Structure 1
Amino acid sequence: MDQSTTSKPHERLATVLAGEMEAVNRLIRDRMASEHAPRIPEVTAHLVEAGGKRLRPMLTLAAARLCGYDGDHHIRLAATVEFIHTATLLHDDVVDESAQRRGRPTANLLWDNKSSVLVGDYLFARSFQLMVETGSLRVLDILANASATIAEGEVLQMTAATDLRTDEEVYLKVVRGKTAALFSAATQVGGVIAGAPERQVQALYDYGDALGIAFQIVDDLLDYQGDSRATGKNVGDDFRERKLTLPVIKAVARATEEERSFWQRTIEKGRQEEGDLDHALGLMKKYGTLEATRDDANTWADRARAALKALPDGDLRDMLHDLAAYVVARLN
């Protein structure tokens, strides 16, 4: 049977980029070393080598190759993107007081919060060293802005997550910060380092931005209707953690006075009782917010695929097209 019909898009991408990804992984292992602080590679290795699809660095490699790049700076940029991603995960687990990631205990649980925060800072510093080595001020500008946007998105989420005044516009700002900013930077710098025409660089940015937004919307939707064995999360974890995600935001916007009181008690005040999750799901069903959220995810995936039309035709573009389709296919 043809592998292209049986494997997932990110798996096909990993196969095509296997040699370059091995170079990225070698560079990551080399740069996460520390002669004077052995805890740094211990903590970093726990997360970096825990699995994961390495989707963001693969996007950088794919974008560079798609635009005809034949140097090696895309290896540094892919490692940079993975370091930034890993640093944000370390910090997020401290902020969220998480105990598990990718089915394993989090670094803050195995070591402590201080180690997670400081190792995350170290990885951010390493990522900037790698950016500088490319000699491109524009690359530095893109990834520095992405790093600031990620931090800004996390702070915005912290203040907006339990505030019923949070609307879809604010939600989109949070998603663009915490997820889409690194996706769009990962694809954009691939085109920049390849010296691609500005139209293609913009298309790569637009693809990464829309893909990241679709990716996060799907994650938020799966929290309410996903298979916990596949997602690694229990249904309703976001509700229990009082996170205002898109399905709830849509339900709050249409709530009666009585329903709004329910959301205020459970989300804003955190006074949750037995049966509240079922009631919340009932309200989302009443207003069709899960279906509306699915439609939004599909719209963003369509935008990602449309952006690819400006890029050179070929197998890599087809894989990126299929990847955008796969992100929302997880809902089926």
Structure 2
Amino acid sequence: MSAEVVPLPRKEPSLAPILSLTATAMNAVNTVILDRMQSEIPLIPALAGHLISGGGKRMRPMLTLAGADLVGYQGTRHHKLAAAVEFIHTATLLHDDVVDGSETRRGKEAANLVFGNPATVLVGDFLFSRAFELMVEDGSLKVLKILAGASSIIAQGEVDQLVSQRVIETSEDRYLHIIGAKTAVLFAAASRIAAVVAERDEAEERALDDYGRNLGIAFQLVDDAIDYDSDAAEMGKDRGDDFREGKMTLPVILAYARGNDEERRFWQEAIAGFRNEDEDLAHAIELIRKHDSVNATRERARHFAERAVDALSIFPDGKARAAMTEAARFAVSRGY
């Protein structure tokens, strides 16, 4: 009589390996962040600290640190540059919350509600300035070009998203172009600069850029899926924010494309801003579930995550590559 084989439970991807890999270096980065967000004007560190101390995955600076480990960099230049990356990201979040009129961020009241829109915008500008100070201190024109270029593209992506808001005809290609600019470009830059400071060749720079860019697209796709697939407590923001703001994210684009005439009329009215009550959101979620739009969005995210993993194939196996691989797969499986 043969013994019954009990399959082992499937292990979900986790950020634990990359968190462990970068823990010591992240402490150094956090020290830089805390030091450089200080000012003789008390409102600046108070407002910046409201968001920075609110948590967040710190994915972008982690990519700089993990990438440095992957290419065998032994110095400390990447600490300041990872802090610069986080300042750029934080500045964009502060500006986004003003533009979107957000009420929560990372599970707490958004800075614009606590401190007001003018102060939030100006402190975002301060953090951008601090980021560029850190880049200049590093002294590499190549690093400066990469991060400055990324900052410019992010701003253009945000404007592109703004002009696409409430435009029901937004295509999937246009949407992917927007998230490639507003999200993925900083993931790419954060990853690439690790190879630059380590003075690695163009192929390794390009591989890290590809890894970060594809991971960033996957990350944003999942963020947009979560808006219709998770509760506010888990997400750290209000469920349905994208719906009420008339953003044409992929779950909506797919549901609209797959819908019948009646469903399309609903989406046209909703995206135009005429159907934004709680019952309208509930109906939107019902339609998105009917057409399996969330799963389809996550499936596309898996495609980009695997492209990110494939980009690492030129590097030798080891803890850093394994951690970055698992981080890419976590980005797709996460529920927050």
TM-score by length of 1: 0.92
1:15 aligns with 2:24: no
Q: 1:57–1:82: 8 Å Cα contact kept in structure 2?
A: yes
Q: 1:84–1:124: 8 Å Cα contact kept in structure 2?
A: yes
After superposition, where does 1:18-57 map in structure 2 within 5 Å? 18-35=23-40, 37-57=41-61
Distance in 2, Cα, partners of 1:291 & 1:191: 35
1:73 aligns with 2:109: no
- Note closer, same or farther for the CA distance 1:268–1:123 as it changes in structure 2 (3 Å cut): same
Answer with 284-293 or 299-308: which moved more. 284-293
Distance in 2, Cα, partners of 1:271 & 1:9: 38
SS in 2 for 1:195: coil
- Note closer, same or farther for the CA distance 1:11–1:222 as it changes in structure 2 (3 Å cut): same
Query: Which residue of structure 2 lines up, in the alignment, with residue 208 of structure 1?
Result: 212
Query: Which residue of structure 1 lines up, in the alignment, with residue 267 of structure 2?
Result: 263
- Which of 141, 144, 154 pairs up with 2:145? 141
Q: 1:242–1:270: 8 Å Cα contact kept in structure 2?
A: no
Q: Percent identity?
A: 51
Distance in 1, Cα, partners of 2:278 & 2:74: 59
After superposition, where does 1:171-186 map in structure 2 within 5 Å? 171-186=175-190
1:254 aligns with 2:255: no
1:73 deviates by 0.9
Distance in 2, Cα, partners of 1:268 & 1:21: 43
Answer with 59-68 or 249-258: which moved more. 249-258
1:57 deviates by 0.7
Query: Which residue of structure 2 lines up, in the alignment, with residue 189 of structure 1?
Result: 193
SS in 1 for 2:199: coil
Distance in 2, Cα, partners of 1:233 & 1:38: 27
Distance in 1, Cα, partners of 2:311 & 2:170: 29
Q: 1:210–1:301: 8 Å Cα contact kept in structure 2?
A: yes
Amino acid at match of 2:27: E
Query: Which residue of structure 2 lines up, in the alignment, with residue 224 of structure 1?
Result: 228
SS in 1 for 2:15: helix
- Which of 116, 121, 124 pairs up with 2:125? 121
- Which of 276, 281, 287 pairs up with 1:277? 281
Deviation string, structure 1 residues 203-252 (Cα, Å, up to 9, x no partner): 10011011111111111111112244322345433223322110111122
Distance in 2, Cα, partners of 1:263 & 1:92: 24
- Aligned-residue Cα RMSD (Å) equals 2.0
Distance in 1, Cα, partners of 2:300 & 2:326: 18
Query: Which residue of structure 1 lines up, in the alignment, with residue 309 of structure 2?
Result: 305
Q: 1:265–1:272: 8 Å Cα contact kept in structure 2?
A: no
- Note closer, same or farther for the CA distance 1:241–1:274 as it changes in structure 2 (3 Å cut): same
1:278 deviates by 3.6
1:330 aligns with 2:334: yes
Amino acid at match of 2:161: Q
Q: 1:77–1:131: 8 Å Cα contact kept in structure 2?
A: yes
- Which of 93, 99, 114 pairs up with 1:95? 99
After superposition, where does 1:160-175 map in structure 2 within 5 Å? 160-175=164-179
1:127 deviates by 0.6
1:273 deviates by 5.1
Distance in 2, Cα, partners of 1:91 & 1:45: 15
- Note closer, same or farther for the CA distance 1:53–1:284 as it changes in structure 2 (3 Å cut): closer
| Greater RCO, 1 or 2 (C-alpha within 8 Å, sep 6+) | 2
Distance in 2, Cα, partners of 1:331 & 1:20: 27
Q: 1:207–1:308: 8 Å Cα contact kept in structure 2?
A: yes
Amino acid at match of 1:83: F
SS in 2 for 1:59: helix
Q: 1:186–1:208: 8 Å Cα contact kept in structure 2?
A: yes
For structure 1, the 5+ residue unaligned runs are: none
Amino acid at match of 1:242: G
TM-score by length of 2: 0.91
